[in-house]
Structures are given as C-alpha cells and as structure tokens.
Amino acid sequence: MDPSSINPSASQVSASSSAANGSSSSSSITGSINMNKDDFLQLLMAQLQNQDPLSPEDPKDFVSQLAQFSSLEQQINSNSNLENLSKAIQSLQQSQSMAQGVSLLGKTVQGNGNTLSVAGGKALDATFQLRQAAAQVAVGILDSNGNQVATLNLGAQAAGTGAFSWDGKDSKGKQVADGTYSYQVAAQDKAGNAIQADNSSTGTVQQVYQDSQGVWVTVNGQKMLLNNIISVLDGS
C-alpha cells in the first residue's frame, strides 16, 4: 500500500478536547501524513503551554494521542518496507530471467509461435499440437506480406504433437528467398469439422533483451517471450 494513501481521521490523532482559544487544536495533526515524532511532541508541548490553566487537558489524552501516532508511524514504515521488499523480489526475478535468457544464446529452442526462417535455402522444422486426431491436416506457408507461397498436405495425424518439414520451395517448385515466413495449420475430422491446432516453432536464439513486458529472445529474427519457450532441443 502506498503510505500517501493513508488518510487518518481526526478521531485517531486529535485531542479529545480543544484549547480555550482554539488556535492550538491538535486536529491540525491530520494535515500532514509526513509528520514525525519530534513534530508531534512539539505540538503537544505547544498545547500544554497554551492550554487554559483553569481547564487543563487530561494527561491520559496526550498519552493516547502519542500511542496512536506511534502506531500509525509503524504502519507507514511497515508498508514502506513491504514495498521495498516487493521491488527487490521483482528485480531479482528479472535478473534471474535475464540470466536464463543469456544461457540460451546460440541454442536451438522450441517455442509457441508460427514463424519459419529460411536461411541458405533451408527451413527449420516446425511443430504443432492437435487436441484430437485429424483425418486431414494441411499447412499453409506465408511470406512476410501474408501471401501464401506453399501448401503442405500432411494427411491424417494423431492427437498430440505433429511435425513437418518444408524444403523452402514455393508451390511451383521454385526456391524462395531467405527470410522469415509464417505458417497456418488447418485440421479437420472425418466429418469435415475444424480441429483446433496450436503452433510452435523452432530456431536458434540470437539475442536476449528486456523491456517492461519481460525478457525476450530473438529466434531466427523473430522476438519471443522467454516464457513462451517450451523446450531446449540441443546445446549447439
């Protein structure tokens, strides 16, 4: 909790009765949450010096006020300590995630996503997950502009993890240019009903960086959140 959000009522920190002239009422204590014990004691001394001699304040009221203020100060300090601890834990977690990402540099990983990278005329394998067996599965390969350049017919596939390889050639058998491509998996059961397919891609971790959303890795030119990596395939 932010300490500045605490707004104590006058009943928590004000005197049980005001001085005769009203100018030294302890209700002014509520004007600032940043007041420390020394300031509070100075106010109490001012009250004692300016109180009506014929109708003095009860010392028990002052003791009660001091105890209440001390309790409030402890609560503020406790909230501040909790905030600092939370920031420290968050910083530690970010450092650990960054270190984990750095350890993946140069390694081949598999992560949730649907990108394919073609380099030297070769494309890495990709995988997908089927929630149930499919009678027909087809994969469409798209370029960076969203144009479909190739279609792979995989036939029937069992439920679970499926994989496919693309030779880097378009539907006319021509080698495509090196770069980043994406794919879409379409699956149907025997009745022609669509089946949900979840995509994952494979590539080499080339870069690690961090922003407000978390730690990212660049895999074959495409960014991926570290949390989206589902496996490390080798240590190459």
pLDDT digits 0-9 by tens, 171-187: 999 999 988 888 999 99
Please, are residues 195 and 132 in contact by the beta-carbon 8 Å criterion? yes
pLDDT digits 0-9 by tens, 119-152: 888 887 788 889 899 999 999 999 988 999 999 9
pLDDT digits 0-9 by tens, 11-55: 333 433 343 344 444 444 444 445 566 676 777 677 777 776 666
Q: What is the spatial distance between Cα 63 and Cα 233, in angstroms, rounded to a whole number?
A: 69
**Helix orientation angle between 37-50 and 59-102, rounded to the nearest 10 degrees:** 170
Return the percentage of the chain with pLDDT > 90, whole number. 22
Chosen CATH of 108-234 out of 3.20.20.70, 2.60.40.10, 3.40.50.10860, 2.60.40.4070: 2.60.40.4070
Please, are residues 171 and 149 in contact by the beta-carbon 8 Å criterion? yes
Q: What is the spatial distance between Cα 118 and Cα 203, in angstroms, rounded to a whole number?
A: 10
Domain ranges for the chain:
3-101, 108-234
DSSP H helices in 24-58 = 37-50
pLDDT digits 0-9 by tens, 86-123: 777 777 777 777 787 888 888 888 888 787 878 888 88
Residues 6+ apart with CB under 8 A from 169: 150, 175, 176
Average pLDDT over residues 71-94: 76
pLDDT digits 0-9 by tens, 54-63: 666 666 666 7
Residues 6+ apart with CB under 8 A from 222: 113, 115, 117, 180, 201, 203
Q: What is the pLDDT of residue 4?
A: 42
